Amino acid sequence: MKSEEVLVATWTNRLQNHISVTICDYKTAICNLVFEYRYPEKMWAEPAHFSSLLSNRQDAVFILLPRARADGNNYQHIAKLLIQYDSQGKLKLAESSFLSVGNFDVVALNRYDGTTDTIYFTAQAPSPGNRHLYSTKATPTADEVWACVSCHHKNCTYQSNSISPNFKYLLTHCKIDGRGSGGRGWKYRSATYGALGTVEIQDQLDALKAVLKKYPYFDASRVSVFGWSYGGFAAVRAAELAPESFFKCTVSVAPVANFLYYDATYTERYMGEAGLAAYNASDITNDVSHFRKTRLLLAHGLYDDNVHFQNSALLMEALQRQDIDFDAMVYPNQDHSISRRTHLYNKITAFLENCAKH
């Protein structure tokens, strides 16, 4: 393929059991079919399966397809589609060949390293309850030839990973299933009922303290917390419940200030018939004194019909009443999702970089 800007687009029928992979010219928007696949009966394509990677030389596309195993089951695995042309220079339909194999599902394609001809992918292995980053050569194989990149994190078995463009750095995101989360029965899940902003926040803090203690190469003097929506509430609440100056920087986007101001369907699902005292106990405007030593960036869309701007306005007022300096960014005509993500994340990045230095 000529060195040009192209788009790999995957299409599906209404039943989502027949996919077509096309390569489209970025300038002309003309798409050419390179691969078709019809799923077996009672199987379908998930949107996540449509994600694909294009090789550096643009001579191969990598996608996820079902691969049959000896036990009669099918698992999502990496398929390589070799891009070839006929004698007239037209794209030929590609044959698929698998790169990964095993009794596990590949759930995401992360990166392709053209220098080493290596695919990095996320799989639910070695058991369905795990999620790790793996790598394999971009060469079709019938053998189980792959390596786990992130399995050395013994206490982080369910994770997501990001790889830097130069493949020099790996960012691993571990999830903490603190009280209030699912998967452990209702006794564990209901620990936050009528008491949002309590034990689930404390469990996150305890986990973070344990990580900092175990891995001394982390700079405990430059710890930051970030959250959006309920996460925005949790970020501010964490700064409140943590020891003094534990967090150097806090970023809160569209936070719930008090669940009295949030929609009844969500709030009463978790708060039930809790009295006014329970709501006031989780009000993040009650005590903002910790932001004298922890810097805060607050961002909110003025058109937010989910978490109304009133919530951030109340938090701003509480900070101003105590003459506490903070950073704020307001987005006119933006709802809860804030579509101006580039501006928002540039603002967050600049804030964190500046905060970490001072």
Question: Domain with 124 in it: what CATH number?
Answer: 2.140.10.30
Distance CA 302, CA 318 (A): 19
Condensed to tens digits (0 to 9), the pLDDT of residues 156-183 reads 888 888 888 888 888 888 778 789 887 6
How far apart are alpha carbons 132 and 170 in whole angstroms? 12
Instruction: Spot the catalytic one: 105, 203, 283, 304.
Output: 304
Q: How far is the C-alpha of 228 from the C-alpha of 335, rounded, in Å?
A: 13
> Is 190 part of a structural domain of the chain?
yes
Q: Is 336 a catalytic residue?
A: yes
pTM of the predicted model over 0.85: no
Q: 3-state DSSP call for residue 20?
A: strand
Q: Are 281 and 348 contained in the same domain? A: yes
From 152, 174, 196, give the residue that closes a domain: 174
Q: Where are the beta strands (DSSP E) in 124-169?
A: 132-137, 147-148, 159-163
Mean pLDDT of the chain: 89
**Does a structural domain hold residue 91?**
yes
Q: Are residues 115 and 52 in the same domain?
A: yes
**The pLDDT value given to residue 83:** 84
**Among candidate residues 150, 174, 198, the one where a domain is terminated:** 174
Average pLDDT over residues 270-298: 93
Residue 235: which pLDDT band, with cuts at 50, 70 and 90?
very high
pLDDT digits (tens, 9 = 90+) for 111-124: 999 888 899 999 98
Q: How confident is the model at residue 142 (pLDDT cuts 50, 70, 90)?
A: low
- Are residues 78 and 130 both part of a single domain? yes
One of 96, 97, 335, 336 is an active-site residue; which one? Answer: 336
Cα–Cα distances in angstroms (integers) from residue 309 to residues 120, 316, 351, in the given order: 41, 11, 21
DSSP letter (8 states) at residue 4: S
Assigned domain for 87 exists: yes
pLDDT of 56 above 80: no
Q: What per-residue confidence (pLDDT) applies to 165?
A: 86
- Residue 145 binned pLDDT confidence (cut-offs 50, 70, 90): low
> 157 and 238: one domain?
no
Active site residue 327: no
Catalytic residue among 55, 100, 135, 229: 229
- 32 in the same domain as 116: yes
Active site residue 229: yes
Q: Are residues 40 and 100 in the same domain?
A: yes
The answer to whether the beta carbons of residues 160 and 173 sit under 8 Å apart is yes
Is 277 part of any domain?
Answer: yes
**Do 13 and 59 meet the contact criterion of CB atoms below 8 Å apart?**
no
Report the CATH number at residue 307.
3.40.50.1820
Residue 75 belongs to a domain: yes
Do both 288 and 151 map to the same domain?
no
* Distance, CA of 139 to chain centre: 29
Q: Bridge partners of 96?
A: 81
The answer on 221 and 154 residing in a single domain is no
Residues near 13 by beta carbon (within 8 Å), at least 6 away in sequence: none
181 assigned to some structural domain: no
> Which backbone phi and psi does 110 adopt, to 5 degrees?
-90, -60
179 found inside a domain: no
> Whole domain around residue 61: which residue ranges?
6-174
The residue from 114, 144, 174 where one domain ends is 174
Residue 180 covered by a domain: no
Question: Both 233 and 295 in a single domain?
Answer: yes
Strands (E), the chain: 6-12, 18-25, 31-38, 53-54, 60-68, 74-82, 96-98, 106-113, 118-123, 132-137, 147-148, 159-163, 170-174, 224-228, 249-253, 295-301, 327-331
Average pLDDT of the residues in 64-86: 86
Number of folded domains in the chain? 2
Q: Note whether 95 and 193 are same-domain residues.
A: no
One domain, residues 111 and 146: yes
Judged on CB neighbours under 10 Å (0-12, 13-18, 19+), 332 is: exposed
Residues 142 and 104 in one domain: yes
Distance CA 280, CA 259 (A): 9
